[in-house]
Amino acid sequence: MATLCLDVSLFIAPHHQLRRQSEKKLLVLGPKRSCVGRRRRLSNVSMKSKNRFNNIVAVATREDLMRAAVSAANNGVSKFNVKATVTIKNKLKPDLSERLVRSLDGIGDLFGKNVIIELVSVDVDPKTKSAKISSEGRIKEWFNKSGEKVSYTVEFTVDANFGLPGVLLVTNNHQQEFFLENVTVEGFHCGPIHFPCNSWVQSHKHHPQKRVFFFNKPYLPGETPEGLKALREEELRELRGTGTGERKLSDRIYDFDVYNDLGNPDKGFDYIRPTLGGGEIKYPRRCRTGRPPCVTDESCESRLEKPLPMYVPRDEQFEEPKRRTFLFGRFKGLLRNIVPITIGRLAPNNIDIKGFSEFDKLYKRCIIRDSSLKDIFPFRKTPVEETGPGLFKFDLPKIVTKDKFGWFRDDEFARQAIAGVNPVSIERVEVFPPVSKLDPQTYGPSVNSALREDHILPFLNGLSVQQALDGNKLFMLDYHDIYLPFVDRINALDGHKTYATRTIFFLSDADTLKPIAIELSLSPGAPSSRAKRVVTPASDATSNWIWQMAKVHVAANDAGAHQLVYHWLRTHACVEPFIIAAHRQLSAMHPVYKLLDPHMRYTLEINALARQSLISNTGVIDTCFTPGRYHMEISAAAYNDWRFDMDELPSDLIRRGMAVDDPAEPHGLKLLIEDYPFANDGLLVWSAIENWVKTYVNHYYHDPATVLNDSELQAWYCEAVSVGHADIKDAEWWPKLDSPENLSKVLTILIWLASALHAALNFGQYPYGGYLPNRPPLMRRLIPDENDAEYANFVADPEKYFLMSLPSKLQISKYMAVVDSLSTHSPDEEYLGQRPHAATWTGDKEMVEAFFKFAADVSRVEKEIEKRNLDPSLRNRCGAGVLPYELLAPISEPGVTCRGIPNSSSI
């Protein structure tokens, strides 16, 4: 256990209160040692020097410093030396320009252009009423050390009445930025004092303000020591900026803006995309960059295309291990698309998958050996193949490692609705036929369901429809209202075809689901024979293929809704305003900031990269998903129905009819599908997070008044809602931040969204979607009707028609490369229950111990999940051809593992 600081009053302890360790050893205070106990006078301190010694605050923990303090007391000296260990994290692979600048900085060091650190006391000088500051400490021999992490020793001189150092002021007189990880100061009575920095320090030449770093002791705003109040406020003003000007990559400014950078009107009509937020289309706010407007439309921000970097505050950018992993994923994706791009350009008629065996080629061998490419390039091997064929080959997705044909089975199709990559959309059917929430005056009779009792009655095991409803036996994936307003526009796009779908499932006595009907809806303008169609499980060969086509259309709808609504909107876009506001309104000393800090890591960076490469006008979702150019409008339409309070897991389960209140159950809920892997594991994780947050919040906030009187906390929540979610700020469902209970609820939801829910929705993308027939993101053909000209071709070769309905080779490889990268854990990932310097992230001993208890709870969750995945009675997670459900298993190795809960939405 790390040594922790005591109350400031103990630093001015008379010498007779000091505990003698031994005749030659000095006082060292730790969690198991105290100033209280057996006391003895120090024999080498004269009676004449007692009073002077009583005023000495800086009592060293090292023998040499202690002797200096005693000598000073005897001789009336009022200044003492203390030391700090400064840990710097170096780049492992600096580029040529960085190495050159480093060399120049080495020369500058010889002429006094060092990195300078000063200590600021928690106390103010009673005469000047200003903060007490130590002498300047200089980091010397900066360039004589190398390695990923380097530690330096810095010495300071402080006055005898200096008090406790609470702030570091850092000045970087080098030309180049550096990453300051942490600083530990020794020489004070309380023991080591820790400063968790974890920040890039820019050159004084470009950013002249001294960098401010606070020690690890948390303070509510009203409890801030006098010496730190001004710096606390000044640091927050620095982070807020002025709201004007274009941001530089080295800036640390956090601000809000609307989504007006997804299109590029300067390139023409096809590249125009609407602005999201602040107008007719409601949406959360994103991090402001301040880039100049487009030439043809000043309301749109000009775009930066990759590889040019998008602005996020400097400390939000990926650290080197994460960046290497991400860039390597991009590089692999580029290589894996060389062949499909070449084929698409040189042989435009050869873009369709010809048979299921072609999917196998993506994994079994290097795709550069594709026979179609050999026809274009008549040579036996390519230079790239000889240097690294593995880079061209996709790993085998987990979904086909258990059962290659499992995706074709109805039970697996249904199982993935509760144990796949999108287990949060399924809901209980409360009325039959289902009722739309769309306005019938706008959409006409198309809002009415075509489902009838006779469609599903043969599949209810002898129950009537009402008995099935009363027995909680009917469940549904309802993508009708999400897609219907966009069906006409999507189907008008070249190579994009969709329905608004509803899928009905029946719950068997074995607690497994079976799909029993799929409703396919087109717009009111479609021919009456095709506007509404209900498909049921097969009774012959032809209807079997139609049934399979219908399931794949549902899977494509699910892939789009998953990506745009449940994944991107809920765990990325809706969380971003809370992160921006936290940096703008919560001091690094604030207890809530310390709690949220690991759950904000990398989110702004990955969201900026998404705006650049995924959700933009030429992004992967635009080109490879069914909604095409309308994908973000679908996401915005879903935002109208989003509720922050319903993102609480128990509330979400009840809202979807998947659970009912039951105080007798462990989590106060009874699941209506007992073997619902996401919900079962999710409630374990939710409970662990909730208990940890309640313990933390109740430690600092004892009653409603302490919450209401916390100016920084109220400013954070108010800004996150009123500015970050300005378009829905007046909604009545926003929780009131007026009590410890409500504060705990808000913080638990945020941590749940950023960690567990994001993990459940993200890290299964390649394991489940990497095999396209299981979960295609795009469909290019509708199911033919008997009156269609295509129907004869379908009957003649249904497999060919099925494959032609899937994405093209180029779309497949682009999509697979992206979801492979998005499903990859980086080597520097921090998982739930982990955080750097776990014993010193806060100076509050009780909360350090509470965090270790939380980590133990998380470990128990992992063991319970492992146990469940070996239980043969749980047929939705154990059995022949069934994937174990591990997406909420907290810890993972690097790579694509289909498990692991990182602390934040970091990919």
The answer to whether residue 758 is catalytic is yes
Catalytic residue among 174, 207, 572, 583: 572
Question: How many CA atoms lie within 13 Å of 299's alpha carbon, on the beta-carbon side?
Answer: 10
Own/partner long-range contacts of 645-648 (Cβ < 8 Å, ≥24 apart): 645/733, 645/734, 645/735, 645/745, 645/749, 646/733, 647/570, 647/574, 647/749, 647/752, 647/753, 647/757, 648/745, 648/748, 648/749, 648/752
Tokens representing 112?
Answer: 């006094």
Other beta carbons within 10 angstroms of residue 256's beta carbon come to 22
Buried b (16+ CB within 10 A) or exposed e, 592-616: bbbbbbbbbbbbbbbbbbbbbbbbb
- How far apart CA 378 and CA 904 sit, in angstroms, is 49
- How far apart CA 681 and CA 894 sit, in angstroms, is 22
Catalytic residue among 172, 182, 198, 762: 762
3-state secondary structure of 40: coil
Residue 651 near residue 684, CB atoms below 8 Å = no
DSSP annotation of 206? T
- How far apart CA 144 and CA 154 sit, in angstroms, is 15
Tokens representing 328?
Answer: 């390597």
Report, in this order, helix, strand and coil percent for the chain, each rounded to 5: 45, 15, 45
3-state secondary structure of 831: strand
CA distances from 377 to 242, 384, 612 (A): 57, 13, 34
Catalytic residue among 567, 590, 667, 725: 567
The answer to whether residue 907 is catalytic is yes
DSSP string spanning 608-660? HHHHHHTSSTTSHHHHHSTTGGGHHHHHHHHHTT--GGGGSHHHHHHHTTSEE
- How far apart CA 463 and CA 284 sit, in angstroms, is 46
- How far apart CA 695 and CA 350 sit, in angstroms, is 61
Match 């907290």 to its residue by tokens: 890
Residue 767 near residue 394, CB atoms below 8 Å = no
- How far apart CA 814 and CA 653 sit, in angstroms, is 34
Residue 272 near residue 263, CB atoms below 8 Å = yes
CA distances from 307 to 300, 477, 573 (A): 21, 39, 22
The answer to whether residue 194 is catalytic is no
Cα first-last separation, the chain: 33
Sign of CA pseudo-dihedral 287, 290, 295, 296: positive
Sign of CA pseudo-dihedral 867, 656, 531, 273: negative
Type of residue numbered 697: V
Other beta carbons within 10 angstroms of residue 364's beta carbon come to 12
DSSP annotation of 62? S
Match 């300051």 to its residue by tokens: 180
Own/partner long-range contacts of 214-217 (Cβ < 8 Å, ≥24 apart): 214/166, 214/167, 214/587, 214/588, 214/589, 215/165, 215/166, 215/167, 215/843, 216/840, 216/841, 216/842, 216/843, 217/5, 217/166, 217/589, 217/842, 217/843, 217/844
Catalytic residue among 580, 758, 783, 812: 758
> How buried is 823 (Cβ within 10 angstroms: 0-12 exposed, 13-18 middle, 19+ buried)?
buried
Give catalytic residues, as residue numbers.
567, 572, 758, 762, 907
